[in-house]
Chain A
């Protein structure tokens, strides 16, 4: 039996592997379904990676390479797909040699996220060729195979600008960037950068109503302030609206938080079956890879304690409940004790108000905040403040 199996060789999984190896843990296996480890940064062929966790600036592919290099010594099984989770850390895996059954004391789920594609967004219209997501577009661009020359970009999260960068690299010119909300979701100068640097008009308050085209995309129908307009284009790139890649824990019946879309964890990164830990962007949509990598390290630190039998029994956990304008909060369960407890969440919409935490009826935290929905909200509570309590509510008034 192995000590730890890590599912997913992206920033979170590889960083967790590195921490476990450095702590002298043997029998660490990383299961990666792709032919190369490194995760999604492999295809983001522009600068912007590594600042948080490596304190250096890399391109996506260089960063992915660095993650792999730093996890040297880990047993990374490529072309290995986990097909089902069973209780107590038993995994069904598909390998090139055939199906296998793998047993580990602890399994860390680090399967990351993906963008929400057109299908799941239930967008109206036909289904021609040329509709894609940023992730798929970047992979295709890296391979020199691009299905369009003049796509529209849907959304304005940070990843939409990554799509713009890739488009410029590949020598194609998006016809517009569309954002249904009143402002760009990425950091403030984003719109200016899009217009000034890339020459791509950004249209806020603009809804995509319909995709048109028979074999290929021919146009999109837009609506702005009640006015409809048909915009000619030959492709549609759906960006962002990230979704945790959580079908394995969902199929296995591990508890899923409907608000995050990822498995519900306690403050030791444990899922509802304590043989399973979860970390990185699987936990929620979405943080940058540096944050996910550091989360991988933090989960690994708890796994080390679990291997030594130092973690409290999971049954002692109390629920954490988001309230008010808070869209979600995680960890979803906490075990009161000596160590400070870090919680992260996001607001439903742009909001100015009071963030408070109530342990039963007692106020244990309060802060005035002004927050945008895509920004992380973090708070740290002293563990002792929750001792003897039955639940914790975190409320954004």
Chain B
């Protein structure tokens, strides 16, 4: 069997895989992104808090911090030409006890050490002035003006679409089962499909990272997925806070974040629960009720708001706190493992870092002289949306105000939705307060010809 050979095969189309696919494609290499699921960002990258972090609280001197700082800078540089949003909200670490209050100067000092020099401690009165909705036992806070909200689904989609537009190859529904390195070329065996050959393999397999790593070597890290559950509140709750409300981290208690979303909702979460299961993230009624109660304690008006839905994400945590990124020159292999909850922020920085590793170990790069910059459709409330445009098509999803043409485009455009979840993440359809009560039929009519198995099992 002859297989086409690529410069680079990337395993895993999460946000890191999409960003690295883009970076190496723009760097002039022929790249194939291999994903076991039917669509990109179907694993760890589909469920997070959608925050673009400054890195103020990352471990000083860590690779994670360096990648976050670089990712943060790069996102701000490229979001406009790719059509991606940026909602500048700022964030506030809020202390609710004297014990937490005592930790604030340390948080400020660490932020400054991390190069986030605009972070300041603020008084309880200043917290209340910014966030009058918070419960009145606030003791003080730390103000981080640079934290921002982004669209967690469109960002990786934009990276992937730019890679695709500039000659990248995408292989979905393709599970890599093994591989062998012969004469400087990897041959990767794909379940139910032809093998793929590439000079270099990049492991960015998220929650399966240690299993994929075993193709090249005994994995130095073990992944124990960490589940985070979230509760989503309906649009009227959006205005209850302006900034991202962060907890004071303590050794004993897991902190819960309250944040708006760029889609006009409010989120409370996440939890942090270690589990062996790598693919499925379940929600649990009791945990969600506890999240709701915790949210209401901090933000009392939340009690009167409608819950839209709940979700759970899995972060690829390892026994190490830091990212596990390295090049294995003898194995023609680059690993990006253990990219935990900061992956959305860090992805562009991780990709840049891996590009550096490539140049150090595998050769020089000749970046494309004039790459294409395709824009992704806007899903957020920070930029104009199609429902507000003259000549709009029928609104299909009334809760999220998604039009017929947006759904049709997501099904037929380059890198079309490969699953109903992918369609939801590309359009917001069925994601609102009715969860498909009003729009399931219309969405199903449009999607059934493209996505197998939706109607009449």
Contacts and interface: CB of A to CB of B under 8 A. Distances in A.
B437 A146 contact: no
Contact of B441 (A139, A210, A214, A251): A139
Contact of A122 (B234, B288, B387, B441): B288
Contacts of B456: 145-147, 149
A355 B308 CA distance: 35
B137 to A, nearest CB: 23
Given A124-B284, A129-B420, A148 B440 contact: no
A388 interface: no
B118 interface: no
B441 to A, nearest CB: 4
B283 interface: yes
A81 B387 contact: yes
Given A120-B435, A127-B311, A216 B457 contact: yes
B457 A132 contact: no
Interface residues of A, number: 50
Contact of A136 (B390, B392, B441, B454): B441
Given A97-B390, A234-B457, A145 B308 contact: no
Interface string A237-263: 000000101010011000010100100
A247 B235 contact: yes
B95 to A, nearest CB: 29
Contact of B436 (A98, A136, A243): A136
Contacts of A143: 441, 444-445
Nearest to A243: B306
A311 interface: no
B326 interface: no
B437 A122 contact: no
A98 B444 contact: no
Interface in A162-215: 210, 214-215
Contact of A94 (B285, B310, B401, B457): B401
A79 interface: yes
Nearest to A98: B390
B310 A96 contact: no
B439 to A, nearest CB: 8
Contacts of A96: 391-394
A41 interface: no
A115 B438 CA distance: 10
B445 A145 contact: yes
A249 B128 CA distance: 27
Nearest to B434: A114
B280 A126 contact: yes
Contact of B308 (A119, A210, A250): A119
Interface in B282-319: 282-285, 288-289, 292, 304, 306-311
Contact of B306 (A115, A120, A124, A129): A120
Contacts of A115: 437
B251 interface: no
Contact of B282 (A98, A125, A234, A251): A125
A33 interface: yes
B455 interface: yes
Q: Chain B contact residues (Cβ within 8 angstroms of A): what range?
A: 35 or more
B433 A83 contact: no
A101 to B, nearest CB: 12
B194 interface: no
A313 interface: no
A123 interface: yes
A223 to B, nearest CB: 12
A149 to B, nearest CB: 6
Interface string B440-455: 1100110010000111
A24 interface: no
A147 B437 contact: no
A338 interface: no
Nearest to A35: B394
A256 B394 CA distance: 30
A145 B441 contact: yes
Interface in B264-293: 279-285, 288-289, 292
B283 A122 contact: yes
Contacts of A124: 282-285
Given A115-B437, A120-B306, A122-B288, A149 B457 contact: yes
Contacts of B455: 140, 145-147
A242 to B, nearest CB: 10
Interface in A91-126: 94, 96-99, 114-115, 117-120, 122-126
A125 B433 contact: no
A87 B393 CA distance: 29
A121 to B, nearest CB: 8
A355 to B, nearest CB: 27
A215 B397 CA distance: 22
B283 A125 contact: yes
A267 interface: no
B307 A94 contact: no
B347 to A, nearest CB: 24
Contacts of A98: 388-392
A122 B433 contact: no
Contact of A117 (B232, B283, B388, B435): B435
Nearest to A95: B392
Contacts of A136: 436-441
A135 interface: yes
B435 A122 contact: no
Tell which of B280, B393, B456, B457 has the most Cβ of chain A within 10 Å. B457
A81 B395 contact: yes
A142 interface: yes
Contacts of B355: none
A147 B454 contact: yes
B236 interface: yes
B171 interface: no
A355 B310 CA distance: 39
B236 A251 contact: yes
Interface in A336-359: none
Interface in B354-388: 387-388
Nearest to B283: A124
A132 B304 CA distance: 25
A281 interface: no
A133 interface: yes
Given A79-B395, A81-B401, A120 B444 contact: no
Nearest to A148: B457
23 contacts: A33-B398, A94-B392, A94-B395, A97-B390, A98-B389, A114-B433, A114-B437, A119-B308, A119-B435, A120-B309, A127-B283, A127-B311, A130-B457, A133-B435, A136-B441, A140-B441, A142-B441, A149-B456, A149-B457, A234-B457, A243-B306, A247-B234, A247-B306
User: Which 3 pairs between the two chains have the least Cβ-Cβ distance?
Assistant: A119-B309, A98-B390, A117-B435
Given A83-B387, A122-B310, 20 more contacts: A94-B387, A96-B394, A97-B390, A98-B392, A99-B388, A115-B437, A122-B283, A123-B285, A126-B281, A127-B311, A129-B453, A142-B441, A145-B448, A145-B455, A146-B455, A146-B456, A215-B453, A247-B235, A251-B236, A256-B304
